[in-house]
Amino acid sequence: MLTALYNKVSPACCYVTVFLGDERISEGTGFAYTSDGEVLTAAHVVTGRWPIKHEDYLDPNQRIFCKFPGLPVVEYRVFFCCIEIEVLGFLGRVQLDIAVLLPKQLHSAAVSHLPALVEPPKLGQRVFLAGYSEELELPFKVEKLLPPDMRGVSDFLDAMHKGYMADMTGPLIKHGYIGNLRRVVAQNTQLGEQVECDVMYIDNSMHPGASGGPVFDESGDAVGIISQRATTIVEAGKEGKISVPSGCTVAISLAPLLHVARKTGGA
């Protein structure tokens, strides 16, 4: 069962790299939710920082590339980045860490994709997480062993910078259980807007690079997006208290897609 699940999910996950000019400013994971290769990812993967600043992805020098296993790299554009709503009494706008990317050109073949469920998983449910975590490395660190002046090495390294880890390693998949689940409702009564989203804590930790990857159930249906590692505060002697990873992953449900559809008429 797990092999079949991996074979279904792995080709639907893409390695996302974001450049500002020639500088790579962000990288993470995304996943296709349509056969045309429309991608869901975390908003902070698109901008490279949090909170989200819309001028980041509106910069004409920004370029986004998505690499699916076995398919050529394709440049993408932002369709929607971060759901943001003003709530009466809050000091700032509520931001939800979700983005939709669309390919600038057609893929050479149909893209494997995961059905996106807007209903959240249940408390205690077993789920899976997939992403190109920094835990993944090329076998034998081959990219560091290649002499820089060897023919073709510069092209190889350039390809690696645009996501060819997708072909070399595939995503890392872990499983865990929903240990905490809370629905957040952000509402602007004056404009008649309401966004619902479920925040879930999963008792297994994914690391940087996996942000934007899918949370999925045992059928291979996507039920959420990986947002960040959960942290906790520990004593550190003379250093005082420091924040360290807690061992859990924070993810959000796909319920905000309903808001995206209402605002845009669909992708």
Distance CA 225, CA 164 (A): 22
Asked if 161 and 17 count as a contact pair (C-beta separation under 8 A), the reply is: yes
Distance CA 155, CA 214 (A): 30
Enumerate residue ranges in the chain where pLDDT < 50: 140, 142, 145-146, 152-153, 156
Tokens of 154: 């510069």
- The pTM of the full predicted model, rounded to 2 decimals, is 0.86
Consecutive H or E run containing 82: strand 74-85
CA angle 243, 14, 33 (to 5 degrees): 105
Q: Residue 217: CA atoms inside 13 Å, Cβ hemisphere, count?
A: 16
Residue 265 is predicted with a pLDDT of: 65
Spatial CB neighbours of 260, under 8 Å, sequence gap ≥ 6: 80, 83, 100, 267
Distance CA 231, CA 249 (A): 9
Distance CA 202, CA 165 (A): 26
User: Could you name the CATH architecture of 2-264?
Assistant: Beta Barrel (2.40)
Residue 166 is predicted with a pLDDT of: 78
* Nearest one of 203, 195, 211, 201 to 255, comparing CA atoms: 195
Cis amide bond preceding 208, omega within 30: no
**Strand intervals (E) in 86-221:** 94-103, 126-131, 172-188, 193-202, 214-216
Terminus-to-terminus CA distance in the chain, angstroms?
Answer: 32
Distance CA 208, CA 228 (A): 8
Tokens of 112: 């494997």
* Nearest one of 50, 81, 94 to 185, comparing CA atoms: 94
Asked if 253 and 217 count as a contact pair (C-beta separation under 8 A), the reply is: no
- Beta carbons within 10 angstroms of residue 232's beta carbon: 11
